[in-house]
């Protein structure tokens, strides 16, 4: 049987082009609530560090400079009361590239395994990273609280698994998973657990949690400055956890030339050292979530619950694409139909509250609420 060439599927957000044209007909243009791109300014101290590091001339350390790794380690200690050895912390070029590339590196190390487990309703890159690595992508069903139903993973899939992704707070649902249970499941089955925690600073129903609070063996936590510090364009993230896994990834990533630019690393140090700007941003997102939910519920008659975490509204609209088209036509706003995040989200819509307050109020006026 002849192997078929890989043809990249349409990038999910490119599928919104027709709706963007509808929304653009409104005076004032599109109100883009589709992608989680922060709109608020980073702190002046971070911007100053970008321009004054003198780090742009040479190659930066692939694993992250010692000041950046120390800042990440110290932040985890303050935030989660856990001490991670400095050697078990390393930088990555934003969290998305880490999600997309790690399966192929693990497959090289464990050619006897071929499966990536990931949440059935989730960020599309978990599945795509598996596909790009030539692996089986196996979706794990969600339980009633929105977490992983690990009891539904078959013995064969567990035996073949290279890794399991967990995402808490979830993108898109905002659900908070049981990370202790995930860590325990991974150790029981010999499956490394990779915990994407880039929204952990924005939890609303309980304190944010990291999987490393449940021990470092067999787990890796992934964190990003894109959301917490409004630095999506700077591409600074880090991973930390199991010594063997982290050391392997550190070494293989050196060969690929995965390096956070030096000025970005300097900015990351300043951002990770400052908790005050994150507290301010939390309240901004809390306010925007409540106001946007109120507007959409009044206009549509649909229940729009507030999330347990993250800065997305996720709700059952009956038909995600129909709701998105109606909102683009009536309000000039662009949102994401839920099937971007798996077939189980087809009835849902994801709304990213990443526009300034004045744009959210513009939406209210357009919708007459």
Q: What is the mean pLDDT of the chain?
A: 97
pLDDT digits (tens, 9 = 90+) for 131-160: 999 999 999 999 999 999 999 999 999 999
Kindly indicate the confidence band of residue 120, based on its pLDDT and cuts at 50, 70 and 90.
very high
CATH 3.40.640.10 assigned to 44-274: yes
Kindly indicate the confidence band of residue 109, based on its pLDDT and cuts at 50, 70 and 90.
very high
Tokens representing residue 17 in the block: 């082009």
Cα–chain-centroid distance for residue 298? 29
Q: What is the DSSP letter of 63?
A: T
Residue 347 scores a pLDDT above 80: yes
Strand ordering across the sheet containing 348-352: 312-316, 348-352, 336-337
pLDDT digits (tens, 9 = 90+) for 176-204: 999 999 999 999 999 999 999 999 999 99
Q: Where are the domains of the chain?
A: 12-42+277-367, 44-274
Residue identified by tokens 């078990």 is: 88
Q: How many CB atoms lie within 10 A of CB 166?
A: 29
Residue 300 scores a pLDDT above 90: yes
- Residue 111 three-state SS: coil
pLDDT above 90 as % of the chain: 96
In this prediction the pTM is: 0.96
Q: What's residue 1's pLDDT? A: 61
Kindly indicate the confidence band of residue 304, based on its pLDDT and cuts at 50, 70 and 90.
very high
- The alpha carbons of the chain give a radius of gyration, in whole angstroms, of 20
Q: Phi/psi zone of residue 95: left (φ > 0), alpha (ψ -120 to 50 degrees), beta?
A: alpha
Kindly indicate the confidence band of residue 2, based on its pLDDT and cuts at 50, 70 and 90.
confident
Nearest residue to 167 (alpha-carbon basis) of 339, 312, 64, 41 = 312
Q: Classify domain 12-42+277-367 by CATH number.
A: 3.90.1150.10
Residue 59 scores a pLDDT above 90: yes
pLDDT above 70 as % of the chain: 100
Across the range 291-299, mean pLDDT stands at 98
């Amino acid at each position: 049987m002849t192997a078929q060439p890989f043809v990249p599927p349409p990038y999910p957000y490119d599928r919104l082009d027709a709706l963007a044209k509808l929304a653009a007909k409104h005076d004032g243009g599109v109100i883009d609530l589709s992608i989680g791109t922060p709109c608020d300014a980073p702190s002046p101290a971070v911007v100053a560090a970008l321009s004054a590091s003198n780090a742009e001339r040479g190659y930066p350390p692939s694993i992250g400079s010692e000041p950046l790794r120390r800042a990440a380690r110290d932040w985890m200690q303050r935030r989660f009361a856990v001490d991670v050895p400095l050697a078990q912390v390393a930088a990555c070029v934003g969290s998305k590239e880490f999600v997309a590339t790690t399966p192929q590196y693990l497959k090289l190390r464990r050619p006897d395994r071929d499966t990536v487990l990931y949440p059935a309703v989730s960020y599309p890159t978990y599945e795509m990273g598996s596909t790009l690595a030539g692996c089986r992508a196996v979706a794990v069903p969600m339980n009633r609280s929105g977490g992983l139903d690990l009891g539904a993973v078959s013995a064969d899939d567990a035996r073949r698994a290279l890794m399991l992704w967990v995402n808490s707070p979830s993108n898109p649902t905002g659900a908070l998973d049981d990370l202790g249970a995930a860590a325990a499941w991974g150790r029981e089955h010999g499956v490394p657990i990779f915990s994407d925690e880039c929204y952990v600073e924005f939890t609303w129903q309980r304190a944010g949690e990291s999987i490393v609070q449940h021990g470092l063996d067999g787990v890796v936590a992934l964190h990003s400055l894109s959301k917490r510090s409004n630095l999506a364009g700077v591409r600074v993230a880090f991973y930390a956890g199991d010594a063997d896994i982290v050391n392997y990834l550190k070494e293989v990533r050196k060969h690929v030339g995965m390096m956070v630019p030096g000025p970005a690393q300097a900015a990351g140090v300043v951002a990770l050292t400052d908790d005050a700007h994150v507290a301010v941003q939390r309240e901004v997102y809390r306010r925007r979530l409540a106001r946007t939910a109120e507007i959409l519920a009044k206009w549509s008659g649909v229940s729009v619950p507030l999330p347990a975490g993250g800065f997305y509204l996720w709700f059952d609209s009956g038909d995600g694409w129909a709701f998105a088209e109606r909102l683009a036509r009536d309000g000039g706003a662009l949102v994401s139909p839920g099937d971007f995040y798996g077939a189980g989200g087809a009835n849902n819509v994801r709304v990213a509250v990443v526009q300034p307050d004045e744009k959210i109020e513009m939406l209210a006026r357009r919708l007459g609420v």
